[in-house]
Structure 1
């Protein structure tokens, strides 16, 4: 009997009920009266408690430490790994129990779990017994595993509970349960799931697995499996009716349906129209429900429950930077202007150095489902250190989703006229151009405004033709990419990096309009260096732009508190006069820190950047940037 039981026995004996007429046995001694017996009982009680505390302290003070060994599974590392993964004795090895009794209990519980795991792997005659060697801090627990012969599947059966049905069942072998294979539980449960999925895809959405029957033949070491399926009726889809579609044109809704009445049910048919309606941007939720017909043999109606978003949006924003000053932005959007999902949007921007107005109209499902046609009208006025310009641009673009999810290809036609004054020589030129932009966007990031995982890529090739005396035809190529990796989930730490390579081919530097040249520097490319100053400069240190650009950047984003984050960044960028970046000229670099305040519309960003190689009479000691959204 363990030592720690002794105080409990003493306490039990001292706490028995006392008969008023009972006298403590004398054993040859003088009998005690009730008062004497009371005080003896009190002393006995406290003595028992003392023994209990001392016994517990002695048990705790005996430090236990142990190692775990498995015998009988050395030839199967995957099985040993599976046993270790469910072993509490192994997982809590650094937290040994207080007593040897509790340690034995822990090992016994593990043995029962091991037997269940071995049964699930096909060893139905398996047994596991733990043994102990050593004591104190050098105990070795050995689990002796006796697997026995592994059971195999017999001839599996699939029984249909409907005598007359159009359902053609799959073979059990195709579901992963094959005669002669190890009788593991995982293929059985997987086969049941696959059977229901198969029935749904064949047009039987009400199919139910009624029973799974097993028969274990220990003499033959065989497990016989039978599945009972109630397939239900073959479903053909009927009329679709919409709930919650007030104000949306019926023809527009019908255009998103992907089947005709009478088509056999398939879960992807319903999923496809759910995605199509969500993709219009008109609805907050879309729920597609299959309804039972009023009579047997009729087509099954489909109900589409829609919750509409507000069709109109007004937005406002702004920002500040020490190199560009203050800018204020406003936007108005209507997402169902003509009741067929057409979208019209107006954007304006008023800044210290730039003002613009932008109007666009977008038509969904242009010719093909998912394809969009966009018309845009834009006015710009810029007062930069490099140039002053006024421009009018009109364009049309067809956009189509590709390489889903998150992919979009585009082709467009743009007309642009501009009046440009170059600050370096005060020359003034007028330009009239037509361009055919070809674009490809890929977005595999997990969040539009604050990504933590994934990547993005944006490429554009734009041939530009001139119809004025100023300028030459040219081709502009732009490639931008970014990548995001979450290094730590709590607190959230994200490593983000970006890169950009742009070039202009087919014209000289001087014949390229100053507002179409490539510039680096500022919050978009190189924080810490003034706007457009990371590139060729004239004698008065004014930027003159280039025909190629290279930019790199990296950030570490740390969510220090729930709504507050800190950022450290390093940027590098430069524009070059040649068509290809001349790496011998090097790059300019900036570094700094920033803060983020997370809001539902995206993080509010404030960065302070410092040039790592300050140029005399060109660079300031630092630059400050305030805006909404991450830098990239």
Structure 2
């Protein structure tokens, strides 16, 4: 019989240092990865069918108190239970499995704050440690599956008692140590063993944040007091010296020009050491398309000047790439796109991307019923990093396109080029030249337009993921004064902006609330002096799901969509993950465009729906179904949208 918890006051240091969580794999025992692979094998056969001298068995758990959480923790940890369909080889294999289960069950109980448990395992009525167990199993197996019992007395729940974080050399309180709540080691709270491991990481990270790169846990004393049902924790920390950044060296860069990475490090030798600055550096460098990953290796000791050298190990992407994409909507039409790109055109991180896109509107446009619903776009986008300083990038795009919508059909040549400046890792701004020459047909006939403007864009982003954010905010704003805007000369100004926020309710990002608000206005011009393609429209998958493309926009007396001079939209979604790859998203949208310079809110339209998400390494594949809540005559009854990435 194997029992635990017999001592009144016992040191359990080994358990919380992780020793109880590292087990040797016995011969014949399948690994975790073997089991995982077997789940997806349609032709799999039970292990005991082919195992030599397979010994089948039954396992029974007798747990005092029958608390659901305790039973679940024990059975989840037990290989006797998890591998019962995979019979071990011979009587010795079963005994080894039973013996190994002891430590697994004890560790599971520690994780529930149970440090006075008694665990008794019997195989064919014998303890795995009993020399007679082998004979007992061999005798029992001839009568059928060998009976195995696991008897557990969980004991009381222990709470954290005295918690101390001490400087190792003098055993005095460590200056600047994190508070007990930050470490999840709060006196009176349930003393789960996992919280102790978390506390170690919090302590080390806190000291590193204070400029101590060599901080480490020297030892810890974890003592369970059975009289008071408390767990006292003492952590001994060696701070190490304070450090400043030393020289940065770069390795791994082969196609990038010498100096490209060095110019963008932005940290000078002698500046205080900061893990947060290193994290920002890694994020900033990996935003360049030619860089796949960045590993920052800190030296294991300070140099002669007391500085900490850092090696920046870069892995580059293949310079050339190609791909294709598609988007489908019952209200917006269908789009297919093919592209080719180069991530490091001249060795300085320059990127060039060529896109060819074909679209099918799905029906004849309402305003131009005799127009061909086929559209296209051919575009070239070029980015040159470091045009003036490492923080300034040249961005340019030229395109030839045919755009088909319910309100107009436009054949155009466009150019947008400017300089983007990065103020920090969150804030960027760009000033550009916007040129367009177009031939546009709408309800009033065919018109030629020339547009020249100077847009100023500002972007602020604290989110954690481009295609699937779970935390943070995003803001994008544009102000564009025009020298020419169709039949209007200098004077008109377009303003628009959007704000999104994301909040995950759990650490695994399985429950995320997301919201977005967007608005815009054109001032200084009459509605019909503004080219139709430059007016505001609302409706469809990009703004108001469930409604037809552009349908929540001003119309003329004939009922044709004419667009507006202002708009407002808002959306909210609850993103719920059912599994690691499948999620559902209930959502609500509202919005409209208006003929006035400012929204009047009288004609707001509302929709609601449900979405399905399939999460991939590239981002979620989105399928949304939406219905209008206040439709008008002629509005769509529903909308279906399929694309890559979240809706916002």
Shorter-chain TM-score bucket reads 0.5 to 0.7
Residue aligning to 1:611: 628
- What is residue 10 of structure 1 aligned with on the other side? none
| 1:41-440 alignment, distance < 5 Å | 117-118=161-162, 120=163, 237=246, 241-258=249-266, 266=273, 274=282, 277-289=285-297, 303-353=311-361, 354-402=375-423, 404-422=424-442, 424-426=443-445, 428-440=446-458
Tell me the alpha carbon deviations over residues 393-413 of structure 1, each in whole angstroms, 9 at most, x when there is no partner: 2222222233x5433222222
Q: Which among 599, 607, 610 is matched to residue 581 of structure 1?
A: 599
Which residue, out of 558, 561, 567, partners 2:576?
558
State whether residues 486 and 531 of structure 2, in contact with CA within 8 Å, keep that contact through their aligned partners in structure 1. Answer: no
* Local SS of the residue matching 2:619: coil
CA contact (8 A) 2:209 2:274 kept: no
With over 3 angstroms needed to count, the CA separation of the structure-2 counterparts of 1:301 and 1:531, relative to structure 1, is closer
Q: Distance in 2 between matches of 1:299 and 1:491?
A: 38
Partner of 2:34: none
Structure 1 counterpart SS, 2:527: coil
Q: How far off is 1:435 after superposition?
A: 1.2
Matched, 1:592 2:606: no
Determine the C-alpha separation between the residues in 1 that align with 2:640 and 2:168: 73
Residue 476 of structure 1 deviates from its aligned partner by 0.7
1:628 aligns with 2:644: yes
Larger mean Cα displacement after TM superposition, 604-613 or 523-532: 604-613
Corresponding residue of 1:127 = none
Q: 1:281-317 CA distances to partner (integer Å, 9 max, x unpaired)?
A: 3322323446699x97899976432221222222211
Cα distance change, pair 472–542 in 1 and its aligned pair in 2 (3 A): farther
SS in 2 for 1:253: helix
CA distance in 2, matches of 1:265, 1:581: 50
Q: What is the correspondence of 1:509-588 to structure 2 with a 5 Å cutoff?
A: 509-583=527-601, 585-588=602-605
Structure 2 unmatched runs, 5+: 1-61, 67-109, 118-152, 179-185, 188-195, 221-235, 362-374
1:250-272 C-alpha deviation (Å, 9 max, x unpaired): 13234235477x86884668667
The 1-side partners of 2:218 and 2:384 are apart by: 50
Is 1:493 the equivalent of 2:506?
A: no
Q: Distance in 1 between matches of 2:510 and 2:205?
A: 38
In structure 1, distance between residues paired with 2:205 and 2:331: 62
Contact 2:566/2:594 (CA < 8 Å) preserved in 1?
yes
The answer as to whether partners of 2:270 and 2:307 remain within 8 angstroms in 1 is no
Once residues 238 and 547 of structure 2 are traced to their aligned partners in structure 1, the CA distance between those partners, rounded to angstroms, is 73
- Which residue does 1:507 correspond to in 2? 525
Q: Are the structure 2 counterparts of residues 621 and 308 from structure 1 closer, same or farther at C-alpha, using a change threshold of 3 Å? A: same
Distance 1:591 1:363, change over 3 A: same
Q: CA RMSD in A?
A: 4.8
SS in structure 2 at match of 1:359: strand
Task: Tell me by how many angstroms 1:464 deviates.
Answer: 1.3
2:556–2:562 CA contact under 8 A, matched in 1: yes
Partner of 1:163: none
Contact 2:451/2:484 (8 A) holds in 1: yes
Residue deviations 1:343-381 (CA, integer Å, cap 9, x gap)? 111223210143212211111123222331212212221
Partner-residue secondary structure (3-state), 2:260: helix
Change in 2 beyond 3 A, CA 1:443/1:157: closer
For residue 40 of structure 1, what is the aligned residue in structure 2? Answer: none
8 Å CA contact 1:389, 1:418 repeated in 2: yes
Match of 2:484 among 466, 477, 489: 466
Q: Which has the larger radius of gyration?
A: 1
CA 1:296–1:373 in structure 2 vs 1: closer, same or farther (change >3 Å)?
closer
- SS in structure 2 of the partner of residue 357 of structure 1: strand
Identify if the C-alpha distance between structure 1 residues 310 and 588 changes in structure 2 by more than 3 Å, giving closer, same or farther: same
Structure 1 position 580, deviation (Å)? 0.8
Q: What secondary structure sits across from 1:581 in the alignment?
A: coil
Distance 2:579 2:204 in 1: 43
Aligned with 1:515: secondary structure?
helix
Secondary structure, counterpart of 1:355 in structure 2: strand
Task: Give distance in 1, aligned partners of 2:579 and 2:217.
Answer: 49
Does structure 2 conserve the Cα–Cα contact (< 8 Å) formed by 1:491 and 1:560? Answer: no
Q: Distance in 2 between matches of 1:198 and 1:516?
A: 49
Contact 1:200–1:206 under 8 Å retained in 2: no
Alpha-carbon separation, structure 2, partners of 1:297 and 1:441:
40
Higher relative contact order (CA 8 A, sep 6+): 2
Structure-2 separation of matches of 1:405 and 1:264: 19
1:384 CA displacement:
1.8
CA distance in structure 2 between the aligned counterparts of 1:559 and 1:176, rounded to whole angstroms? 36
Partner of 2:124: none
- The alpha-carbon deviation at position 335 of structure 1 amounts to 1.3
- Offset from partner CA, 1:425-470 (integer Å, 9 cap, x none): 22x2222222111112122223222223333221111111118655
Secondary structure of the residue aligned to 2:541 is: coil
TM-score normalised by length of structure 2: 0.60
Maintained 8 Å contact 2:208/2:215: no
Is the contact made by 1:446 and 1:452 (CA closer than 8 Å) also made in structure 2?
Answer: yes
